[in-house]
Amino acid sequence: MDFGDILRTSAQVITQRKASYGPPTEGFERAAVIASTVLDKSVSPYEVAMILHAVKLSRISTSPKYLDNYVDAVSYLAFAGDFADAGSERPRDSKAPDGRPVAPIRDGATEASGPARPTAP
């Protein structure tokens, strides 16, 4: 597979996944909300894309002949570039899918998820 094949395959995979999962921007937004909640700090879609790219670089370092890692790495950089161009490289306030703010997880719940669940002693 040469560089052109990698780029074409990346575009094909993105198109296929868009049909299955919806627009990539929505998926990265959801991932950013989840990561923000888990990490108790604001995470942007740009940062999600860069972290996923870093994961691919790590995998490439141990499996340099596995071409799917290059396809995915190119895709994540393309998304990061798109998010940077759109100005979403900065962390933003976390929002639930319905637009309500998501408070950091404390005592087992978030503002958007409802009442707190009991925590283990």
Q: Give me the pLDDT at residue 79, please.
A: 96
Q: What are the mean pLDDT values of the chain's consecutive 10-residue runs (121 residues total)?
A: 94 95 94 95 96 97 96 96 79 55 47 43 44
Q: Give me the pLDDT at residue 86, please.
A: 80
Distance of CA 119 to the CA centre of its chain: 29
CB-CB contact of 77 with 57 (8 Å): no
Q: Give me the pLDDT at residue 118, please.
A: 43
| pTM for the predicted model, two decimal places | 0.72
Q: Give me the pLDDT at residue 26, please.
A: 94
